[in-house]
């Protein structure tokens, strides 16, 4: 039997698209000349950028990764930031720092074996130029998740842009708000068949923490800042290690043997007390696991912000006359989404933007390439027909219907009434936002993410391309790794 299809025309109430109960506010947006002037100004800026792109060699690269920072997250964070500024009628003039960069593209994020990426296979792609299987870091698609034996074969191990930089005599560093052994930073220094082998691994495989502290390129990193102290300490020191090793102590001994000026710090106060001009190697582990969400009481307990860590890293790395490559991750955007904490995800994105602003301010576009992207998206959407004055983190009512502007396709909040936010005793930032399909954690999304760039050869980060192309463009801009010798004339 055939299925009949009928076009259904919805009869919206007269006030459905209006600002019910709110007087229209006269703003410059009601004047056509406003849009024409603003549009022409933007056009002139774009023409100027295209007129003379920067084509010199990138001495430095600062690579920012907003974990889980989907395009919807960027949009919502921008609106939220403007609304926080106190504007009664947001006019769309606000931008996150990286949205002002001259070049933008779209990045395809799938794994070798999965349509929707996890942070491990995606990290391998944007760090090494090689796509991998879900759950694996620093190895090719020949290694399936948990296949320790295959991961030990040198032909299956792939080098990262951090290693390429080190081979070129540059300084290198990683900064993250997650554990420094977590999937995103691990793609820069580890070869593992399972992203979860952070402090222990089967057979002859080395766990990720060991690789960071004892193997190249991890042991060669000049700056390591983030969370995850538990992965380096033995059980009797409240750590996770069952081998009894204290990898932090071992790192210190190694630094002394090699006559390096080093500092190990555990909190914001200790970091601020370091004379960064006298430090060659800086290790900071500011929490036992992941660092705290932005603005929570834990941060007040002496954890540095992502901006502060970024500035400290640049201060240490910039002393190298050959330049540096720095990877900076805003990792807790992703964690907030997984918990259906949309408000917190936006706060983390704004904090991430501030860190980008630090790097943008203290570096020169003529010699420093700054790249900002995400590893994958999430299932959060901006939906309905909210007015411009409705707070994006709140619920609205239209035509007798009540809904949350932000909601998810799945996640833990689905066990509650899916059309209502669930208030949290910890404050608005921890409110649960509605989701449809009940799951213990909300999942990633599979659509493309954006990339923004400024500096030498930033104009190559345009169009739509595979995620593994990102480090290859960066290597070309800096004449390192796969591009070494191919751009010696610059």
Q: What is residue 460's DSSP assignment?
A: G
Distance (Å, rounded) from C-alpha 6 to C-alpha 3?
10
Q: What angle do CA 307, 310, 316 make, to 5 degrees?
A: 145
376 is in an annotated binding site: yes
Sort 257 into a burial class: Cβ within 10 Å, 0-12 / 13-18 / 19+. Answer: exposed
Copy the structure tokens of residue 151.
């991961």
Instruction: Please indicate if the annotation marks 182 as binding a ligand.
Output: yes
Phi-psi group of 90: left, alpha or beta (phi > 0 → left; psi -120 to 50 → alpha; rest → beta): beta
Residue 67 annotated as part of some ligand binding site = yes
In degrees and rounded to multiples of 5, residue 202 shows phi and psi of: -80, 165
Nearest residue to 83 (alpha-carbon basis) of 386, 383, 413: 386
Q: Does 378 belong to an annotated binding site?
A: no
Answer for the pair 388, 197: CB distance below 8 angstroms, yes or no.
no
Return left, alpha or beta for 135; rule: phi > 0 is left, psi -120 to 50 is alpha, else beta.
left
The encoded tokens of residue 280 equal 């060659």
With beta carbons less than 8 A apart as the criterion, state whether 479 and 490 touch.
Answer: yes
Beta bridge partners of 422: 432
Per DSSP, the three-state class of 450 is strand
**Bridging pattern class, strands 401-404 and 395-398:** antiparallel
- Cis, peptide link before residue 217, omega less than 30° from 0: yes
Whether residue 444 is annotated as binding a ligand: the answer is yes
Strands (E), 109-235: 171-179, 223-227
Residues 190, 158: contact at Cβ < 8 Å? no
DSSP letter for each residue of 474-487: HHHHHT-GGGTTTS
Location of structure tokens 């930089």: 165
Q: How far apart are CA 464 and CA 454, in angstroms?
A: 17
Q: Is 305 annotated as a binding residue?
A: no
Distance CA 124, CA 132 (A): 6
Q: For the beta carbon of residue 106, count every other beta carbon within 10 angstroms.
A: 15
Return the active site residues. 119
Residue showing tokens 């495989």 = 205
42 annotated to bind ligand: no
Alpha-carbon dihedral sign for residues 172, 178, 179, 181: negative
**Is 334 marked as a binding-site residue?**
yes
Residue ranges of the annotated binding site for Mg(2+) are 67, 182, 184, 329
Residue ranges of the annotated binding site are 67, 182, 184, 329, 334, 338, 375-376, 444
């Amino acid at each position: 039997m055939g299925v009949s299809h009928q076009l259904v025309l919805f009869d919206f109430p007269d006030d459905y698209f209006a600002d019910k109960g709110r007087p229209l506010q006269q703003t410059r947006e009601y004047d056509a000349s406003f849009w024409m002037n603003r549009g022409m100004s933007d056009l002139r800026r774009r023409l100027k950028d295209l007129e003379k792109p920067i084509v010199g060699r990138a001495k430095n690269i600062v690579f920012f990764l907003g974990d889980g920072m989907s395009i919807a997250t960027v949009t919502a964070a921008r609106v939220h930031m403007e609304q926080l500024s106190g504007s009664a009628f947001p006019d769309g003039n606000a931008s996150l720092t990286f949205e002002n960069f001259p070049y933008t593209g779209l990045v395809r994020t799938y794994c070798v074996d999965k349509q929707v990426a996890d942070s491990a296979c995606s990290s391998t792609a944007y760090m090494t130029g090689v796509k991998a299987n879900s759950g694996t870091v620093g190895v090719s698609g020949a290694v399936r998740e948990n296949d320790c034996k295959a991961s030990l074969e040198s032909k299956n191990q792939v080098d990262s842009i951090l290693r390429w930089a080190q081979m070129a005599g540059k300084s290198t560093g990683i900064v993250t708000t997650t554990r420094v052994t977590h999937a995103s930073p691990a793609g820069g220094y580890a070869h593992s068949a399972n992203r979860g082998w952070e402090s222990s691994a089967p057979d002859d495989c080395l766990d990720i923490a060991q690789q960071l502290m004892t193997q190249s390129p991890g042991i060669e990193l000049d700056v390591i800042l983030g969370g995850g102290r538990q992965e380096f300490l033995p059980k009797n020191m409240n750590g996770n290690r069952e081998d009894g090793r204290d990898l932090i102590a071992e790192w210190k001994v190694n630094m002394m043997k090699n006559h390096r000026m080093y500092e190990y710090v555990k909190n914001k106060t200790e970091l601020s007390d370091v004379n960064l001009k006298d430090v060659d190697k800086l290790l900071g582990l500011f929490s036992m696991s992941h660092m705290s969400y932005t603005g929570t009481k834990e941060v007040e307990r002496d954890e540095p912000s992502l901006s502060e860590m970024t500035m400290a890293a640049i201060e240490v790395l910039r002393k190298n006359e050959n330049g540096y490559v720095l990877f900076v991750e805003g990792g807790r955007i992703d964690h907030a989404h997984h918990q259906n904490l949309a408000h917190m995800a936006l706060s983390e994105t704004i904090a991430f933007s501030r860190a980008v602003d630090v790097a943008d301010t203290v570096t020169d576009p003529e010699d420093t390439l700054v790249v900002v992207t995400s590893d994958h998206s999430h299932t959060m959407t901006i939906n309905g027909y909210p007015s411009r004055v409705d707070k994006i983190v709140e619920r609205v009512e239209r035509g007798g219907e009540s809904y949350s502007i932000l909601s998810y396709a799945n996640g833990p909040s689905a066990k509650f009434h899916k059309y209502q936010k669930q208030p949290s005793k910890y404050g608005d930032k921890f409110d649960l936002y509605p989701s449809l399909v009940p799951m213990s954690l909300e999942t990633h999304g599979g659509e493309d993410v954006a990339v923004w760039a400024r500096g030498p050869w930033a104009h190559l980060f345009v169009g739509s391309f595979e995620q593994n192309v990102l480090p290859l463009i960066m290597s070309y801009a800096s004449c390192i790794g796969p591009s070494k010798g191919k751009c010696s004339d610059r």
